[in-house]
Structure 1
């Protein structure tokens, strides 16, 4: 892994905070990658899969893979904005930085092939600003700009992209599945970040449902119902931006709802 990917994937935000306070010029020996990097299928370092569990080799031709990669980035952005609003500045800075190494660097060839200008720098800028003490309103403004950039990249999705509502449904299913798997990780740790990763998946699944739910319901009402049920279960697991004192959602029900949705949207 290059130094650039190492810094971004394992917590550039934390390194920036330390640097701003004069505590260090570079991060300490890197901890394990964010749990979001291993919450999906095929997580790995390069090769056919990116660190976020994205099948990079298929992203240029498969709209679900491509859009799921962008949705994974979106989840980090939404989580960062909410964490900043909750006073969790370091976690927010790290959330902005993580997708650079987890997804965006590996997606560069795909972006070039599809005519999407690469956009890592605004994520690093948002991470830096958050680490240096930007107010929550400014962090939210930066997040809104990043979401607009992601929306523009979505429009370049291959093979018809979002013109097929089944594609949007499959992306939502992937987000729910990641969130359900992430809940087990969050329960096994007292750290905030694993929970925040899952909360980002919830927010993004909900946002995709709000944007595309009507078309999905017209095309496949049964799938739309499974989406609603799965998001309801996910919301019970991640009720607020701040981690609850106890994580006692029904994990079995959550995994079952995620599995039913994944099966309904499988191709």
Structure 2
């Protein structure tokens, strides 16, 4: 052993501290590195470019309801694998994996609470749960949210985020489109408002059904909203689509949305709408 090795081995070096993998968040839009804690405190909105990241039901409910107080509605019980579907993995295994990752039963979660003192039932689709895809459980949860709103005489507000219908349930997933449409009609017959807030992304069968049937249509900035994908449309019509096609701002300019609202302002905007559409609540 050389003298250099003896000296080096004798020095009590401190162990290198491990840096947590989740200490930083890289914005997918501008590439800025932001402390994860700062990013989460800002409701998952990039402080530099204002890119709206995807958030789940818990974060949405905490930011929306008064003092973060709300009561989750029970999850529906449906057949979990009606077609015994299998691709590279069993559908039942995919559901278990999604439940473990998100802590949710399925892609749509409802909660009851108050927004600036006014009652509301809010449903949130979690894109982290199999892309927020619409299957039997989502259709049943939507119906539970509507029925709760009718029972409590308050609006039903849905935050959509989905890749479309859940292919593992075949035609049964597509049947949720007319099912949710009928549920919305029940809400209207009861004289109660149905408000849709579309987040990134809202596509496929969800866009073709309950996401586009709101009394008021809202979207978060930059949200991707559409039915078929841009490349599919371009290959079909053989034309180049405009810049920003299928983004919230483009749809607002072309009359498909009523407003685009920043995440930090959505609570106040929803409270204003509830006050207009449910004046008895505002008076109370």
Q: What is the TM-score when the length of structure 2 is the normalising length?
A: 0.30
Structure richer in strand, relative to its length? 2
Structure richer in helix, relative to its length? 1
Q: What is the TM-score when the length of structure 1 is the normalising length?
A: 0.31
Higher relative contact order (CA 8 A, sep 6+): 1
